[in-house]
Amino acid sequence: MSNPTQSHVALVTGAAQGLGNRIAARLLAAGYRVVLTDRSLPAAETAARAMDASGERVMSLALDVGRKADFEAALAAVLERWGDLQVLVNNAAVTRATPLMEISPEEFAEVVNINLGGTFSGCQVIGRHMADRGYGRIVNMASLAGQNGGTSTGAHYAASKGAIVTLTKVFAKELAGQGVTVNAIAPGPIDSPMVKALVPEERLPGLLGAIPVGRLGDADFIGDMVVQLARPEAYFTTGTTLDINGGLFMR
């Protein structure tokens, strides 16, 4: 039996490294053609070559999610090469560990524009294309920080990620009637470069002690959950946020 996703194309933002890179790898392993995007084109190109040296099923693009025009350009490039785009993963994000009362308006705006604004632009630009085609799967990367106020992350990061949960519901309602689902995944602390950069090694035992399961999350498992939400059979799941946090936050 043929795999219906073999002809589908998935674009992942912030895919040159970390969690985004693992999400892209799991989509590729599941049969998707994958577009790796990053603010740094050389970084995206290096990651794409490492994932598929032939370049037949992977392409790389420069995409600064803080710029709506970059999403429009990326969509045009994907359509030129592969003719369609069925899956979008809004993963790119930044954080700063600046103490709450020291966050400047400029820093707050930068983080919110990239994390929340980038998700909005991706949903708007790519979501419109998907709606016009009558099919699409959008997965937004939220965070435990947006549900419990954060621990090691900055207030601007936590606020932006909480807003992504709401934005996911807004776009889900808007696009549901046109065959497009919009969901979010809210990971807790994952074994990733971002977490290791934010949590000094001496604080890691304390972090692990606070997680009920006693371990950091697995990035490949997050990627597998993205794959599930991206499947055609996932049509009945939209507007939801999937919690993967080791028991740190339970509904």
CATH code, domain carrying 218: 3.40.50.720
One DSSP character per residue, 97-147 reads ---GGG--HHHHHHHHIIIIIHHHHHHHHHHHHHHHHT-EEEEEE--THHH
Distances from the Cα of 86 to the Cα of 12, 15, 37, 47, 57, angstroms: 12, 17, 16, 21, 15
Q: Return the C-alpha torsion angle 174, 176, 126, 158, nearest 10.
A: 70
250 part of a folded domain? no
What's the mean per-residue pLDDT of the chain? 94
Domain-located, residue 251: no
Which helix (H) or strand (E) segment holds residue 76: the answer is: helix 68-82
**Predicted pLDDT of residue 1:** 40
**pLDDT above 90 coverage of the chain, percent:** 86
CA-based R_g, the chain, Å:
17
Q: Would you say residue 4 has pLDDT above 70?
A: no
Q: Is residue 94 part of a domain?
A: yes
> Among residues 32, 135, 157, 235, which one is catalytic?
157
202: DSSP letter: G
The answer to whether residue 33 scores a pLDDT higher than 80 is: yes
Buried b or exposed e, range 155-173, using 16+ CB within 10 angstroms: bbbbbbbbbbbebbbebbe
Domain range for 148: 4-243
Residue 200 in any domain: the answer is yes
Asked whether residue 249 is assigned to any structural domain, the reply reads: no
Name the E strands within 136-226.
136-141, 180-187
- Could you confirm whether 235 is annotated as catalytic? no
Please state, in angstroms and rounded to a whole number, the distance separating the CA atoms of residues 59 and 37: 8
Domain count along the chain: 1
**Is the pLDDT score of 207 beyond 90?**
no
